[in-house]
Amino acid sequence: MQLIPAIDLRAGRCVRLYQGNFQAETRYDQDPLELLERYRALGASWLHVVDLDGARDGTLANRTVIGTLLAQPGIRVQVGGGIRSLERIEDLLAAGAARVVIGSTAVEQPPLVLGWLERFGTERVCLALDVRLDAQGVPQVRTRGWREAGALSLWQALERYPSGAVAHVLCTDIERDGALAGPNLELYRAALARFPELAWQASGGVRDASDLHALAHLGVAAAVSGKALLEGRMDAEELRPFLPDASFPA
């Protein structure tokens, strides 16, 4: 399993939200480029960058900062937040994004996203399905910066895509996001059981290296972590098994 550090951007600054709430924002002093360099030095080969302004209102308010990050060598970047058009995908891929992450549109317009998957390939497009568990424990998908609840479960949303059409799915348990409460292992266990062919990226709740080992044991392809890394809750040696480009001495 691979660790993918996350950088969430709002008005050009690094922030973290608590459970997707824009009113519960923590700002960090680290410059986004400095963070990229820090994670690259640790051995990260991928970075997950989210335009939170775009996720909320569909505008890429952080495009300049994202462009700077995409121009850096030695690390691949997947970009999400407000990507809802062919033109925006083409712009980000041309600027150097290795992969675009499609959230709301993947839920609302599967035929359109299927066309993007066919055009750019399954390695260049990742679906982002963000969920809250209902009273029965069923993961229900939310969209538009996690503000809008639809009528689809996670399983129903994925069943709208034919087998083989999708390779990568980023799944966030909103209740765990930014909470440092541990990842929802049962959610990802169920996801792998239902859709074992997908490369699942688990997001939300990672506290420490034990959580990374637990996710790896389940068989998820990647774990996305923001707050725990920003706050230095895991040291380089603990991260080493999950950063394939790590080159520091044994």
CA distance 38 to 63: 21
Closest CA to 180 of 52, 19, 41: 19
150 φψ region: left (φ > 0), alpha (ψ -120 to 50), beta (else) = beta
* Strand stretches in 46-186, DSSP E: 46-51, 76-80, 99-102, 125-133, 139-143, 148-153, 168-173
CA geometry: angle 36, 37, 42, nearest 5 deg = 100
CA distance 158 to 164: 11
8 carries an active-site annotation: yes
Q: How far is CA 65 from the centre of its chain?
A: 18
130 carries an active-site annotation: yes
From the candidates 51, 130, 177, 211, give the one annotated as an active-site residue.
130
Which residue(s) pair with 139 in the sheet? 133
From the candidates 8, 53, 173, 177, give the one annotated as an active-site residue.
8
3-state secondary structure string, 42-58? HCCCEEEEEEHHHHHHC
Active site residues: 8, 130
